[in-house]
Structure 1
Amino acid sequence: MTTTEGEPFFYDHDGLRLAGRLWGEIGEAGDAGAPLPIVCLPGLTRNSRDFTEFAHAIRAQKPAQPLVALDYRGRGLSQYASGPEAYTVPSEATDTLAGLDHLGISRAVFVGTSRGALVIHLIAAMRLSAIAGAVFNDAGPRIETAGLRQIRDTVGVVESFPDWPTAVAAVASSLGPTFPAMGRGDFERMARAGFRERDGTIVGDYDPRLLEPLRAMDLATDLPELWELFDLMKAIPSFVVRGENSALFSAETLSEMTRRHDAIETVTVAGQGHAPFLETAGLPERILGFAQRCR
């Protein structure tokens, strides 16, 4: 496979044309000298562009390190599903596994941000052997209802902006209180990764219908927990990132994950909320070191 620097690739699954991005080159199956790929899974409405700077930071340290980032159905360059009922964590896990099969990846270190961390739990149930290591970025087996309610009440409420400065200002206004360590450049990077220009306006780069299941959820009670799936991974090296100001992923959940797991590393990122920017705070260095130890 030709070495690439974040160029898109496409594959077909479940009647949909899906997409991802690849940095580097995937080694041949069975090549003992090839580094394990790092597979990046985005959050609810996010896409593979979120991981561009993270991939650059990783490859600046280790040029031979391949990374893959995926667009679930209805995000980024992937085709929209036929209806909102198709936007589920299990369907996104099967999309991910189909992408790995397309690239010939049998084992990888997975990096999941927010919803991406939940996808890793489903992959553990579907194909545990694929997970050589897992990085959970500000999500785990228990999600705090208050944090999910905050996402429901803010994401997609304003669906378009007249120009990029307005979109960036909206991201800064929304995230600024829980991300005091970040600056306008960080918020602009996030806006340009998650939005796109269409018909002269700036809109979220996702199918708005994927938010319908979230809108319909009863958030008056606690959410189902995934501890049984997490326990499947207790012998697999794991690295957990928590934003100091996160309302979605609690310090108590992080502590319980540490108690249950045989080989886990953790970091709490000061001055950031949900979810920490993986290209910041020395995280690329720590995650690359973790990935190398997973071999």
Structure 2
Amino acid sequence: MTSAPEPICRYVRAADGLRLHSLDYAAPAADREGLPPVVCLPGLARSADDFDRLAKALQADGRRVLALDYRGRGRSDWDEDWRRYDFDVEQDDIERQLADAGIGQAMFVGTSRGGLHTMRIAARRPGVVLAAVLNDIGPKIEHAGLLRIKRYVGRLPPIPSMREAIALMRLTAGADFAGVSPQEWEDYARLTFVEKDGKVLLRYDPELSHTLDGVAPDVAPAEYWDDFEALSKVPILAIRGANSDILSPEVFDEMARRAPRLEQVVVDGQGHAPLLLDPPTIARIADFVRRSA
């Protein structure tokens, strides 16, 4: 049996010249059979590498996967102007990355911010999104969760080693992610931080914190029900972390009411957002992709 090819790094220039990165997991059989690819969009401060286990599982199932790094994250260039870390600029970047990869239609997997991007694409470019996996995100975001995220994005105390970084993650998030194994914690920490020149650094531009400047106790978050309405025309797998403070059970159920083809999955022992590292969740997504093709 021939092993699946390793992902290749793709680079394309944004409209303003920044270099954008994505990981392309090829599946020659899928291309021959005309199977639509899967596009993975990460959360606010996350990267394409978050989807490696999922992408390899889908690739082994005969599916091409493209996982994107937004500007300022992962291997993409950082922007000198943090104001360009916004939805409209990122949407243009995504379109360029898809065009560079020759993808006109796809199934999308969106974690948190990536799910919002998926809804926006469905609303602005009808026909591009063939099916969607929304990982712990809905049209209404809980205020308390946004305030919590604002407290840590872009803020990193001095950490002397990756071992301490792993311990810090378990200390700060362990209560909401009691179902995550020690090995998964280590893997997730290495997806979050990088060791360079004897220091532990974030794998994203700390200036991303400014995207949350407008989040305040007395300011209600925007809602995206119109965008979700456009997405509701296609099959949806909605995933919720059982301990999520971003996607409430009430919004989760309202999504199912408004989208008759929506399937629900709750990941026990995880909060916002499920890490997509555990075999049962990966298998559930792979099954959905297989059936929705």
TM-score by length of 2: 0.93
- Indicate the SS of the match to 1:132: strand
Superposition RMSD in Å? 1.8
Aligned partners of 2:130 and 2:188: how far apart in 1? 29
SS at match of 2:239: strand
Superimposed CA distance per residue, residues 93-128 of structure 1 (whole angstroms, 9 cap, x where no aligned partner): 221121111010111110001111111122122212
Q: Percent identity of the aligned residues?
A: 36
Q: 1:160 to 1:69 in 2, by over 3 A?
A: farther
Residue 160 of structure 1 and its aligned partner are, at CA, apart by 4.2
State the shift of 1:196 in Å.
1.2
The equivalent of 1:132 in structure 2 is: 130
> One-letter code of the match for 2:38?
I
* Residue 198 (str. 1) matches residue 200 (str. 2): no
1:48 pairs with 2:48: yes
Match of 1:13 in 2: 14
In the alignment, the residues of structure 1 paired with residue 260 and residue 151 of structure 2 have an alpha-carbon distance, to the nearest angstrom, of 37
Q: Which residue of 2 aligns with 1:229?
A: 227
Report the counterpart of residue 97 of structure 2 in structure 1.
99
Deviant stretches of 4+, over 4 Å: 26-29
How far apart are residue 219 of structure 1 and its match?
3.7
- In structure 2, the CA distance between the partners of 1:244 and 1:13, relative to structure 1 (3 Å rule), is same
Quote the offset at 1:216 in angstroms: 4.1
Unaligned runs of 5+ in 2: none
> How far is the alpha carbon of 1:283 from its aligned partner?
1.6
Q: Is the 8 A contact 2:108 2:118 kept in 1?
A: yes
Task: Choose from 149, 157, 160 the match for 2:147.
Answer: 149
1:136–1:240: 8 Å Cα contact kept in structure 2? yes
How big is each residue's C-alpha offset from its partner over 1:212-271, in whole Å with a ceiling of 9 and x where there is no partner?
121343342321100001001221111100000000110111111001113111101111
Is the 1:160–1:204 contact (alpha carbons within 8 Å) kept by the matching residues of 2? no
Structure 2 Cα separation of the partners of residues 294 and 237 of structure 1: 7
Q: Report the CA distance shift for 1:105/1:199 in structure 2 as closer, same or farther (over 3 A).
A: same
Q: Give the match for residue 70 of structure 2.
A: 72
Change (3 A) 1:159 1:57: farther
Name the CA distance, whole Å, in 2 between partners of 1:133 and 1:284: 16
CA drift at 1:292: 2.1
Structure-2 separation of matches of 1:99 and 1:223 = 29
Equivalents in 2 of 1:10, 1:250: separation in Å? 37
Residue 112 of structure 1 aligns to a residue in which SS? strand
Paired position in structure 2 for 1:266:
264
- Out of 212, 215, 234, the residue aligned to residue 213 of structure 2 is 215
Which residue of structure 2 lines up, in the alignment, with residue 114 of structure 1? 112
Please give the TM-score of this superposition, normalised by the length of structure 1.
Answer: 0.92
Q: CA deviation at 1:159?
A: 4.8
- Cα deviation, 1:59-98, whole Å, max 9, x if unaligned, reads 34x1x21111100000011011121100012222221121
User: Residues 123, 165 of structure 1: CA spacing in aligned structure 2 closer, same or farther, 3 A cutoff?
Assistant: same
| Paired AA for residue 124 in structure 1 | A
**Count of aligned positions:** 289
Q: Residues of 1 paired with 2:5 and 2:97: CA distance?
A: 16
Pairing partner for 2:162 from 161, 164, 174: 164
Moved more, 174-183 or 118-127: 118-127
- What is the CA distance between 1:6 and its match in structure 2? 2.4
> Which residue type is aligned with residue 130 of structure 2?
A
Deviations 1:123-165 (A, max 9, x none): 1222121100011000011100100111111233225421100
Quick one: which amino acid aligns to residue 41 of structure 1? L
Q: For 2:251, which of 250, 253, 257 is the aligned residue? A: 253
Quote the offset at 1:285 in angstroms.
Answer: 1.7
